[in-house]
């Protein structure tokens, strides 16, 4: 009877998307455990019994793709439930989980990005015979944490949600147990992630110790009195440091190139795509909505981090020879531009940051999908940028698609990336940050070099190696085509994304 009484409440009914996702993740995990047999007793050479710990031991070859397909189906059903329920302005668990129009749009975007990442993973699974069903369960748990991050309206839930996603990411980064690089990536991520979690918890503790509050709405009412206290300022500083680490912003960026390089490519793609948007949404809600009265405190910190991120990543990317490390530093530069929009603190700056976040994720999905096409090579040795020589002659359609994405990331008009940077620079100039705007524009021009370098290698350099190709998985081709369509559609219909980012910025700031 309690089950039906639970859903008689409209607020609980509108949280059914998270409940359904938790249940589907549990069912998928039970399904994987039932159809896998990892701890198989085998006989050694001296006839002694031992347990095999091989990752692919006695796991059905189709188990992982089937579980991935089930997870995609579950995400589509969650998306349907969110759209079916509509928008309900309320909160759950003492107003800790917010249900409003901003969260509604954020959930749709996050789940859409997650579906694209899972679609792109089939090619990697088939090429490497990646028979480990646990990875999809961990991804679902991390995605649950990310959805809770976007819905959080209380600092306690913020900490729990971030820890939920981080603990899954620590394991996913070191999923290749026979790889030294993957183990190193997981260890670095765990140690530095624990430090950032400590900063976050310390900041929350300081704010709670002085105000006795953790809920965002109650803190907003408290700060209306204009009480600028050093304890709150110190707590806010620790919280900002923790968020800058999660966003891989300088000077807390040193872990990201090693983690991106060492983790499996599908996991690195998930790191670079899904959590970033949720963290940006939450950071905007905290800084602009809760701590707006402290803008004179946090604005210089965010500006400095944005400026340093753009400066360091621009010159560090030029020296990179490995593809995945280059993409890590490129991500740091884009995060710098997003932080630049947040630091302005105006409606135009917040809108530019959200617009840039969505555009960045779309372009990043395309770039990592292109990286995953490399595993259709028979030798699977595409590690360095120079290994892409004469790729245009091998597959001109994918090469032209990648060319469009690279031009967009470099900010070449009339592609999506150009308008993203244009809105950021427009907001910073309007806020009278002329010096930072000029320097960042120069860094953007310099940064175009390392994107155009890809074009030079792919189209104009010759390869001395023979390459044998297999057909690319259809799901990966679908993701690449979808990204190209989005970039192309924006050229002719730019108002859709512009109005969406404007509406989401308005909802996050009220």
Query: According to the model, what pLDDT value does residue 127 have?
Result: 64
CA gap 182, 175 in Å, rounded: 7
Q: What is the DSSP letter of 286?
A: I
Tell me which of 386-400, 461-475, 481-495 is least confident.
Answer: 461-475
CA gap 258, 247 in Å, rounded: 15
Phi, psi of 131 (to 5 degrees): -100, 75
Query: According to the model, what pLDDT value does residue 88 have?
Result: 57
CA gap 349, 431 in Å, rounded: 9
Res. 445: pLDDT tops 60:
yes
Residues 344-354: tens digit of each pLDDT = 888 888 988 99
Q: Per-residue confidence at 396, pLDDT binned at 50, 70, 90?
A: confident
Res. 466: pLDDT tops 70:
no
Tell me which of 143-147, 229-233, 371-375 is least confident.
Answer: 371-375
Res. 240: pLDDT tops 80:
yes
Res. 468: pLDDT tops 60:
no
Average pLDDT over residues 453-475: 74
CB 175 within 8 A of CB 135: yes
Res. 265: pLDDT tops 70:
yes
Q: Tokens at residue 346, please?
A: 């105006």
Query: According to the model, what pLDDT value does residue 93 have?
Result: 66
Res. 2: pLDDT tops 50:
no
Average pLDDT of the chain to the nearest whole number: 81
Average pLDDT over residues 71-99: 77
Query: According to the model, what pLDDT value does residue 236 have?
Result: 92
Give the H or E element holding residue 16: helix 16-34
CB 369 within 8 A of CB 475: no
Half-sphere exposure of 437 (CA within 13 A, CB side): 17
Q: Per-residue confidence at 63, pLDDT binned at 50, 70, 90?
A: confident
Average pLDDT over residues 254-269: 84
Higher confidence at residue 381 or residue 475? 475
Task: Report the b/e string of 117-142 with b at 16+ CB within 10 A.
Answer: bbbbbbbbbbbeebbbbbbbbbbbbb
Q: Is 462 exposed, middle or buried (0-12, 13-18, 19+ CB in 10 A)?
A: exposed
Nearest to 301 by CA among 217, 377, 236, 386: 236
Select, from the ranges 370-379, 415-424, 492-501, the one with the highest average predicted confidence (pLDDT): 415-424
Query: According to the model, what pLDDT value does residue 227 have?
Result: 66
How do 97-99 and 90-92 pair as beta strands?
Answer: antiparallel
Query: According to the model, what pLDDT value does residue 42 have?
Result: 39
Question: Model's pTM, two decimal places?
Answer: 0.88
Tell me which of 165-169, 350-354, 360-364, 465-469 is least confident.
Answer: 465-469
Q: Tokens at residue 244, please?
A: 């800058």
Res. 198: pLDDT tops 80:
yes
Which residue range forms the structural domain that includes residue 285? 2-509
CA gap 216, 200 in Å, rounded: 15
State how many domains the chain has. 1
CA gap 378, 113 in Å, rounded: 29
Average pLDDT over residues 418-431: 88
Q: Per-residue confidence at 510, pLDDT binned at 50, 70, 90?
A: low
Res. 12: pLDDT tops 60:
no
Res. 202: pLDDT tops 90:
yes
Average pLDDT over residues 75-102: 75
Res. 50: pLDDT tops 60:
no
Average pLDDT over residues 113-136: 78
Tell me which of 11-15, 79-83, 409-413 is least confident.
Answer: 11-15
Percent of the chain with pLDDT over 70: 85
Query: According to the model, what pLDDT value does residue 130 have?
Result: 60
User: Looking at beta carbons, which pairs linking 76-81 to residues 24 or more positions away fall under 8 Å?
Assistant: 76/115, 77/20, 77/24, 78/17, 78/20, 78/21, 78/24, 78/111, 79/108, 79/111, 79/112, 79/115, 81/16, 81/17, 81/20
Residues 23-42: tens digit of each pLDDT = 888 888 888 777 765 444 33
Higher confidence at residue 326 or residue 390? 326
Res. 4: pLDDT tops 60:
no
Higher confidence at residue 179 or residue 76? 76
Q: Per-residue confidence at 302, pLDDT binned at 50, 70, 90?
A: very high
Query: According to the model, what pLDDT value does residue 470 have?
Result: 65
35: three-class secondary structure by DSSP: coil
Q: How many other C-beta atoms lie within 10 A of the C-beta of residue 182?
A: 21
Q: Rounded to whole angstroms, what are the CA distances from 472 to 182, 290, 371, 375, 380?
A: 25, 47, 12, 9, 13
Query: According to the model, what pLDDT value does residue 176 have?
Result: 76
Percent of the chain with pLDDT over 90: 15
Q: Per-residue confidence at 379, pLDDT binned at 50, 70, 90?
A: low
Res. 292: pLDDT tops 90:
no
Query: According to the model, what pLDDT value does residue 225 have?
Result: 74
Q: Rounded to whole angstroms, what are the CA distances from 448 to 452, 455, 460?
A: 6, 11, 17
Select, from the ranges 5-19, 115-129, 272-286, the one with the highest average predicted confidence (pLDDT): 272-286
Res. 263: pLDDT tops 90:
no
Q: Per-residue confidence at 14, pLDDT binned at 50, 70, 90?
A: low
Cβ contacts of 171 within 8 Å, gap of 6 or more:
138, 186
């Amino acid at each position: 009877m309690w089950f039906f009484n639970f859903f008689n409440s409209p607020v609980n009914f509108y949280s059914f998307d998270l409940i359904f996702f938790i249940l589907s993740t549990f069912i998928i995990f039970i399904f994987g455990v039932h159809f896998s047999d990892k701890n198989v007793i085998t006989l050694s050479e001296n006839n002694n019994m031992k347990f095999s710990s091989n990752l692919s031991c006695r796991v059905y070859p189709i188990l992982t793709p089937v579980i991935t397909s089930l997870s995609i189906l579950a995400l589509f059903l969650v998306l349907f439930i969110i759209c079916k329920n509509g928008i309900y302005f309320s909160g759950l668990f003492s107003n800790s989980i917010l249900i409003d129009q901003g969260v509604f749009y954020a959930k749709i975007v996050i789940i859409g990005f997650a579906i694209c990442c899972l679609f792109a993973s089939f090619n990697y699974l088939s090429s490497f015979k990646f028979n480990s069903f646990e990875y999809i369960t961990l991804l679902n748990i991390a995605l649950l944490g990310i959805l809770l991050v976007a819905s959080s309206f209380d600092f306690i839930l913020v900490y729990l949600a971030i820890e939920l996603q981080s603990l899954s990411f620590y394991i996913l980064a070191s999923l290749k147990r026979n790889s030294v690089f993957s183990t190193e990536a997981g260890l670095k991520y765990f140690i530095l992630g624990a430090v950032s979690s400590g900063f976050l918890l310390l900041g929350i503790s300081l704010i709670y110790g002085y105000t006795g509050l953790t809920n965002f709405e109650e803190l907003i009412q408290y700060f209306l009195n204009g009480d600028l206290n050093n304890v709150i300022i110190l707590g806010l500083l620790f919280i900002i440091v923790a968020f800058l680490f999660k966003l891989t912003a300088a000077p807390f960026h040193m872990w990201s190139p090693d983690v991106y390089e060492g983790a499996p490519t599908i996991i690195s793609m998930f790191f670079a795509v899904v959590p970033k948007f949720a963290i940006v949404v939450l950071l905007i809600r905290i800084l602009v909505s809760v701590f707006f009265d402290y803008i004179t405190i946090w604005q210089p910190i965010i500006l400095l981090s944005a400026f340093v991120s753009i400066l360091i990543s621009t010159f560090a990317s030029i020296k990179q020879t490995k593809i995945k490390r280059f993409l890590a530093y490129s991500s740091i530069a884009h995060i710098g531009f997003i932080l630049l929009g947040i630091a302005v603190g105006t409606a135009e700056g917040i809108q530019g940051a959200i617009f840039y976040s969505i555009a960045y994720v779309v372009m990043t999905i395309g770039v990592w999908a292109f990286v995953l096409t490399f595993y259709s090579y028979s030798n699977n040795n595409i590690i360095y940028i120079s290994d892409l020589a004469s790729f245009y002659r091998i597959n001109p359609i994918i090469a032209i698609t990648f060319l469009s994405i690279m031009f967009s990331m470099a900010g070449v008009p009339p592609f999506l990336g150009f308008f993203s940077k244009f809105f950021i620079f427009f907001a910073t100039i309007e806020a009278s940050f002329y010096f930072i705007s000029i320097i960042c524009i120069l860094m953007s021009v310099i940064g175009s070099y390392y994107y155009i370098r890809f074009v030079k290698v792919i189209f104009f350099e010759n390869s001395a190696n023979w390459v044998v190709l297999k057909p690319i998985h259809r799901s990966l081709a679908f993701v690449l085509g979808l990204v190209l369509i989005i970039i192309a559609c924006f050229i002719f219909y730019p108002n859709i994304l512009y109005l969406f980012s404007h509406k989401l910025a308005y909802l996050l700031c009220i």
